[in-house]
A and B are shown apart, each in its own frame.
With several copies, the nearest count.
Chain A
Amino acid sequence: MIKIHDLDVDVGEFHLRDINIEIKKGEYFVILGPTGSGKTVLVECMAGIHNPCKGEIWFNDGNVTLLTPEERETGYVPQDYVLFPHLNALENIQFGLKIKNHSKKEIEKRVGEVTNRLNIKNILYRQNPKTLSGGEKQRVALARALIIKPRLLILDEPLSALDPRTHEELQRELKRIHKEIKTTTIHVTHDFEEAISLGDRIAVMNNGKIIQIGTPDEIFRKPKTESVAKFVGAENLFKGKVIYSDNGKGISRIRIHGMDTNIFSLTEKVGAVYVSIHPEDIVLSEAVCKCYNDKNILKGKIVNIMDKGSLVRIIVDVSIPLTVLLTRRAYLETELKKGSEIYVIFKAMNVHVF
């Protein structure tokens, strides 16, 4: 459906380099990256707002690189919504159809459909779109983009800057709408949760480059580079060196940089590596339990307990600081305290090496 080939874009001092993306028809494609990584520049380039200085963009076997925005038929929902302040909500929504001189009846029909779907019938006549709340603005902008039945829907951080409740609601809605209308969608975000729960595939950007593309699981479980790992929140991330590699069994031992802590993993890599263990993959135990040789068991001391709402984050010092996540409920049942001695246990298969 969409093919981006070797794209380079310059805006002011900022450069996008070597962008290659293929998006399938009907796919929900997420672009994930930290602030200032160029996500907005990239999607605006697809929408035709920025011009690339190299490379090509294809929509459905048509080269659109030189087309103007109005010829591309993308539905773009900008990060800052950009509702037209001189029009009320309804007029904003009708805008694209009126421009194309659709009949009154057709306009009415489509407005009915889209406002039903987005549940915004009650705010259509609010005169000044600035008085709409964030969530309402977002829905109007989305309706304005959906009503023109775009070939490609681009959502630029549609959920950031919303309070968590509205955030969650809208996220659910986006999923539902995509299921219903099946438009190819690009969704820009810097929130992992959003990316995982919405994306069919995810592209991770940093510094104007795409550093990894894959399914959510690939990205979060197997980050290709340290920067992806760091960004996607691999919390227990350490430098290390493979000191013993038993290729036959696939088990290797890694010594953490500057420590004499050893960690077992299933990697076949050798030399200097990075190691990461997801906090929810670590079990806390008061005693050493029956153990197989592919398990890591380390003794440590609790140095910090952080209450994070429904989750509790516990830092255990096992010569290296390990972060462990528990549900609040589990935590309340354990009577863990700062200073308690404890074992941390995690499987070698859960040790991610790269």
Chain B
Amino acid sequence: MNVFNGIFGERIFKAATLSALIFFILFLVGIVVSMICYISSDRFISILFSKEIIFAIKLSLITATIAVLISVAIGIPAAYALSQTEFWGKDIIDTILDLPIVISPIALGAALLIFFSTPIGSGIEEHGIKFVFVIPGIILAQFVVVSALCIRLMKSTFDAIGSRYEDVARTLGCNKFQALFKVTLPLAKNGLLAAGILTWARAIGEFGATVTLAGATAMKTETLPIAIFLSLASADVEKAIAVILILIIISITSLFAIRKIAGSGWSI
């Protein structure tokens, strides 16, 4: 007999898988703790309540939320089409969807800047909304970075639900729109929520594309990640770390809260 059999083997197995998880988590916690050790709490408090950082917190929360809402609004129909509709060139579109994930955000920001200096882009800027170096640019940059991820995640939710419920709903008199709103979306809400959470997390930490498209102007386009960058740019490591910790605390508590609320009330 082999040691991996039986209850003993089961314990080894559990220990092995759990320890991989715990090793990983400890590594993350270790990094955070080593940052906490770096700064004094006085300095932390004074940074936290500075006008600049309060502005950055608000701006981050607002822009990330708007970017996620837009991603979800465009992402739901797009993911639905990708999941439930058959059309020519689907695998090509599937691959194009990887573009924003593959291109690093700074490059993506640069591409957006260039796009807005083309005739089409400057047309949009002049007659529609201005994006370059202003707050809508932050939202656009976050949207571009996170939307593809959001679509991918929502696609797998729709894949899991399948078309059976809709088919039956239609025999009961629903048209496609009603079937989507009355059946598929309510059924998908947990998955969509999870996708939204992950997307929001990614958006709130977005830096590269934001800084390139919207610039790093204090008190104007300064989100928390840009505040981190600006602190590092003046070699103020302590402030940078304080802002990193603020970012962590704010987003982790928001995420935990969303999960808890969602977990209790929303489950199917």
Contacts and interface: CB of A to CB of B under 8 A. Distances in A.
Interface of A: 44, 47-49, 66-76, 78, 82, 84-86, 95-96, 99-100, 144-145, 148
Contacts of A73: 173
A96 B172 contact: yes
Given A84-B183, A86-B268, A99-B174, A67 B7 contact: yes
Given A70-B175, A99-B178, A99-B182, A84 B169 contact: yes
A110 to B, nearest CB: 13
B172 A82 contact: no
Contacts, number: 68
Nearest to B187: A86
A268 to B, nearest CB: 48
Interface string B140-151: 000000000000
Contacts of B6: 67-68, 70-71
B161 to A, nearest CB: 10
Interface string B142-175: 0000000000000000000000110111111111
A95 B171 CA distance: 11
A111 to B, nearest CB: 14
16 contacts: A48-B170, A67-B7, A70-B173, A70-B174, A71-B5, A72-B171, A74-B171, A76-B168, A76-B171, A82-B165, A84-B165, A84-B187, A85-B187, A86-B268, A144-B172, A145-B171
B12 to A, nearest CB: 12
Contacts of B263: none
B167 A49 contact: yes
B236 interface: no
Contacts of B77: none
Given A84-B183, A85-B187, A68 B175 contact: yes
B186 A95 contact: no
Contacts of B183: 84
A71 B182 CA distance: 18
A72 B174 CA distance: 11
A99 B174 CA distance: 6
A68 B182 contact: no
B186 A86 contact: yes
Contact of B168 (A66, A72, A78, A85): A78
Contacts of B169: 84, 95
Given A49-B167, A145-B172, 7 more contacts: A66-B7, A68-B9, A71-B6, A75-B172, A84-B183, A96-B172, A145-B171
Given A66-B7, A72-B171, A82 B268 contact: no
B10 interface: yes
A233 B238 CA distance: 80
A67 B10 CA distance: 11
A99 B172 contact: yes
B171 A69 contact: yes
B264 to A, nearest CB: 14
Contacts of A145: 171-172
A48 B171 contact: yes
A68 B186 contact: no
A328 B22 CA distance: 66
Contacts of A70: 5-6, 170-175
B170 A69 contact: yes
A237 to B, nearest CB: 38
A64 B264 CA distance: 39
Contacts of A99: 172-174, 178, 182
A96 B173 CA distance: 6
B172 A95 contact: yes
Which 3 A-B pairs have CB atoms at the shortest separation, nearest pair first? A69-B170, A96-B172, A76-B171
A278 to B, nearest CB: 39
Interface string B179-196: 000110011010000000
Nearest to B188: A86
A69 B167 contact: yes
Contacts of B7: 66-68
Nearest to B9: A68
Contacts of B182: 95, 99
A75 B268 contact: no
Contacts of B168: 76, 78, 82
Contacts of A78: 164, 168
A78 B168 CA distance: 8
